[in-house]
Amino acid sequence: MFLQQIANALALGAVYSLFAIGFTLIFGVLEVITLAHGAVFMMGAFAGLIAVTKFNAGLASTLLASMIVPGLAGYLIDLIAVGPLRKRKFHHLAPMIATIGCATIITSTYQGIFGAEAYRFPFDFVPSTSYDIGGIQLTLLQLIIISISLFLMVVLIFFLNKTRWGKAVRAVAENPKTAALLGIPVEQVFRLTMSISSAFGGAAGVLTGLNFNTIHTFMGGPILHRGIAVIILGGMGDIRGAMAGGLILGFSEILSVAYISSDFRDAISFGLLFLILLVRPSGIFGKVIERKG
Amino acid sequence: MLKGEYITKDFGGLRVLGDVSFEVKAGSIFGLIGPNGAGKTTVFNIISGLLKPTSGRVIFNGKDITNRPPYEITSYGISRTFQNIRVFREMTLLENVLVGMHRLFSYSTFSMFFDLPKKRSEEKDLRAKAFEILSIVRLTEKADLKAESLSYGEQRKLELARAIATEPKLLLIDEPAAGMNPAETEELMEEIVHINGKGYTICLIEHDMKVVMGICSHIAVLNFGELIAEGSPDEIKANQEVIEAYLGKEEWSA
Amino acid sequence: MSELITSFWQTYNTLFYTVFVHGMLALSIYITLSCGQLSLGNAAFMGIGAYTAALLTMKAGLPFGISLIAGGFLPAVVALIIGIPTLRLSGVYLAMATLGFGEVVRVVILNMKITGGSLGLNGVPLKTELWHLVLVMGILIYFFIKLKNSRFGRILEAINEDEVAASVMGIRATYYKVWAFTIGAFIAGVAGGLNAHFTFFISPREYGFEPAVDILTFAILGGTRTLWGPLAGSTILTILPELFRFLGPYRLALNGIILVLVVLYLPNGIVNRDTFTNLKNFFKKEENA
């Protein structure tokens, strides 16, 4: 029974990690907490749904759609809301508030278009076969979710470490002023980061939609505060932290549902968050926060 | 009065301060000088509690104040100004000074809400006192103006007034003469000596050698995070290492 | 004439009451914003206050006033518990911690039997009258006016402007941030109690993230320099949607658009520090004309 839960936890954790990676990347590079990440997650789920139901797309195209649409949204958010705030020196909370506004716009618009009901993927979009791997029963769906998540994470890490743009992103994350002096187009890097991160959020969205076979316009909310818990748990701005934190949260939720009660599952993330804030606010991989004079 | 013992500060792999030890005697004006980036403001940040040293201790009047939070250190009697002036720009001068006098206020929320005598008398008395402090730096006519309307030099004076308002025993002043013309600098030197005369011990970071040599009784020199010399102005002027450290810098004027 | 007033009142009295409640909520977030912190939990505090007060009048038969005050105290206690570990960190942490807090409250309410769970609480006695709202609002306004020229007001403003400089002045920032946050929670709780006793029915859905964003928008639109800003913002944003009812769910998108536009182009909100000077000058010109 416990082994079985591992499969569930891995699938859940993988998606949480995927979501959190985008979130933490934006914080690491732009130093902004985007509260629109839940909204782009929801956009990805719907984009995938439409790709399948209206365009009969296969898995790969669906995934692509679920990343491109939110990616564009992320680009626009930076273009219209977050970007202009960089040039004017406003209150440090201003960008966050702007992303809240963007989230509301996106969510309400989708609610106007799609209403409040839950949508499903077509019945056999992913055949319900399961495999036995080392004593654990993994459904094809779970395998797909875990492998796609892993794949995307590997691609991202490769991008960040081996490509020119990826290294530019890391340089800007380290120090934007220095990066600018080195000739790196910092504004474009910011936009790129927002786009990539939102794309990852969207991928997490469609995978979650597949995992629970439920897509609705309110799904951005619950994932958002789980994402926050994950990045604080893992350390803000740290990708390893997002991955580790996502898995930890996934396991915590599955195990608590299995062994304690399912009633409080939604509160687990907050409990973890609170615990970390009490004990080690910088998170697992975070640097200890110091004040400067 | 203030002793730094083997203070070391590392930022990641970078050693910003290495085994810095010094002593500030009560009643003196102590100068902390050195080329840009030598670590002088870092020393101030560590003393005032904004940074924790990697190792070493800060002792104030016999009490170990290392690693204590800033508000607590202020309560022991240490106050400071900042290199890049951090007055509360949207508050009036009087309010800035009143914030400095935070320690002297004690009325409760309850008193505030019901306008109790304790609140009224504290506000009245401390406002009068704040006005007096503004008169020390000659800014009383602008008392009700917002701090941001002040000139650069005036803002520096306000910061000084605010620091004095905390009723410190030791005042850390960070580059007060930066951006000042010779006349303002003269005035500044007089003010600092005047304040010192009233019993405040002063520790001064400054690049302008005229000021340093003119008013400091004791000087410590930092270079690349290390203490390279300590002594009276004459001793420092003659010190070969110090001269080399400053070689080529325009601030040097013996 | 009096018939017109009576029928107007019958149609719009709930709206009128809601304007007051929203004003109180806007003030509850204003006090935390005024020291540079963002709380997204005030709707949840409102919910705790609403349920506490409603249950006390319904099940324990306590007098209205006592229920209201208790309904303010419970959220305040919770705020203390959440606030102390969170507020010693930078402003962003409170926002993130309170974001998820609404979920916790929702989950707890859903799982307690006495709260009626997901069906909500039905039959809350209609006890709130206009004079209650006016009285509480009056007390709040008085409190904020007293705050402005007191040491507490100065401390909050100093922390907001430059927390580091404030700490060096001897201000224990965490203490005062918690103080502000707790008072905000108390105000939100009382507002919740008042609200419950004229809406007859409450459910966990009303106290989640979206209402919290609304409250934030009230304050940001109105301007956080003075207490009148949030009141102006909440009044406008409570009445305006009534005019835009025909937009349906898109109406909320309007709130989002307003939020973004205000943050970008009107960062100090509608009622900012120049408003009063501008008004004075305007009237002076009229005199001289």
- Looking at residue C232, its pLDDT comes to 92
The whole-number average pLDDT for the span B110-127 is: 91
What's the token pair of residue C45? 């505090």
- Taking the Cβ of residue C155 and every Cβ of chain B, the question of whether any pair is shorter than 8 Å is answered with yes
- The answer to whether A108 and C257 are in contact (CB under 8 A) is no
Q: Which domains can be identified in chain C, with CATH numbers?
A: 17-209 (1.10.3470.10)
Residues belonging to chain A: 293
pLDDT in tens, B172-230: 999 988 878 888 888 888 888 988 888 899 999 988 888 888 889 999 998 888 888 88
Are residues B8 and B79 part of one domain?
A: yes
The verdict on B185 and B228 lying in the same domain is: yes
Tokens, residue A232 = 């604080």
Nearest-CA residue of chain A relative to C208? A221
A141 CA to chain B: closest CA distance, Å? 44
- Please report whether residue B197 resides in a domain: yes
Same domain, B6 and B79: yes
Domain annotation covers residue B251: no
User: Is a pLDDT exceeding 90 seen at residue C122?
Assistant: no
Quote the CA–CA distance of C150 and C156 in Å, as a whole number.
Answer: 10
Indicate yes or no: CB of C106 within 8 angstroms of CB of A98: no
Mutate to test the interface with A, among B10, B40, B44, B45 (most CBs of A within 10 A): B45
Q: What percent of chain B has pLDDT over 70?
A: 97
Contact in structure between A288 and A282 (CB atoms under 8 Å): yes
Query: Contact at 8 Å (CB) between A269 and A250?
Result: no
Q: Are strands B218-223 and B29-33 parallel, antiparallel or unpaired?
A: parallel
- The tens-digit pLDDT sequence of chain A (293 residues) is 677 788 889 999 999 999 999 999 999 999 888 999 999 999 999 999 999 888 888 888 899 999 999 999 999 999 999 888 888 767 778 888 899 999 999 999 999 899 888 998 887 777 778 888 777 788 888 888 999 999 999 999 999 999 999 999 999 988 888 888 888 899 999 999 999 999 999 999 999 999 998 999 999 988 998 999 899 899 888 889 999 999 999 999 988 888 777 777 878 888 888 888 888 888 888 776 554 33
pLDDT at B182: 85
Query: What pLDDT sits at residue A291?
Result: 44
B239 in the same domain as B182 = yes
| Whole-number pLDDT of residue B34 | 87
Domain count, chain B: 2
Task: Check whether residue B18 and residue B125 sit in a common domain.
Answer: no
Higher pLDDT, C58 or C31: C31
Residue C241 Cα, gap to closest chain A Cα (Å)? 14
Closest-CA distance, B52 to chain A, in angstroms, reads: 8
Interaxial angle between packed helices C42-58 and C2-33, expressed in degrees from 0 to 180 and rounded to the nearest 10: 120
- Identity at C44, one-letter amino acid code: A
Contact across the interface for A293 and B52, Cβ inside 8 Å:
no
What is the predicted pLDDT for the residue at C288? 61
Residue C109: pLDDT band by 50, 70, 90 thresholds?
confident
pLDDT of residue C210: 81
Expressed as residue numbers, the domain containing B140 is 88-149
DSSP C253-276: HHHHHHHHHHHHH-TT-SS-HHHH
Q: How confident is the model at residue A293, as a pLDDT? A: 34
DSSP label of A215: B
Q: What are the tens digits of pLDDT across the range C23-44?
A: 999 999 999 999 989 999 999 9
Query: A with C: how many residue pairs have Cβ under 8 Å apart?
Result: 136
Q: Percentage of residues in chain C with pLDDT exceeding 70? A: 96
C-alpha count within 13 angstroms, C-beta hemisphere, residue A158: 6
For residue B168, pLDDT over 70 is answered with yes
B95 and B79 assigned to the same domain: no
Q: Which chains touch A (3 or more CB pairs under 8 A)?
A: B, C
Same domain, B137 and B190: no
ipTM of the complex: 0.88
Q: What CATH number does the domain containing B231 carry? A: 3.40.50.300
Cα separation, A88 vs A66, in Å, equals 33
Looking at the DSSP bridge assignments, the partners of residue B7 are: B20
More confident of the two residues C90 and C223: C223
What is the rounded CA–CA span in Å between residue C214 and residue B39? 47
| One domain for residues B145 and B180 | no
d(CA A228, CA A249): 11
Taking the CA of residue C279 and the nearest CA in chain A, the distance in Å comes to 25
Cα A6 → chain centroid:
21
Please give the pLDDT value at position B247. Answer: 58
Burial level of A150, CB count in 10 A (0-12/13-18/19+)? middle
CA distance C164 to chain B (A): 8
Nearest 5°: the CA angle A86, A190, C37 is: 45
A274 CB near a chain C CB, below 8 Å? yes
Question: Mean pLDDT, to the nearest integer, of C105-129?
Answer: 81
Tokens coding B84: 């890049």
Residue B159 resides in a domain: no
18-57 of B, contacting C, C-beta below 8 A? 48, 50
Are residues B105 and B80 located together in one domain of the fold?
no
Q: With 70 as the cut, is the pLDDT of residue C14 above it?
A: yes
Question: Measured in whole angstroms, how far is the alpha carbon of residue A39 from the centre of its chain?
Answer: 10
Q: Which chains touch B (3 or more CB pairs under 8 A)?
A: A, C
Q: For residue B50, which residues of chain A lie inside 8 Å, CB to CB?
A: 291-293
**pTM of this structure:** 0.88
**Reduced DSSP (H G I as helix, E B as strand, rest coil) percent helix, strand, coil of chain B, to 5:** 45, 25, 35
- Residue B44, in any domain of the structure: yes
The verdict on B104 and B195 lying in the same domain is no
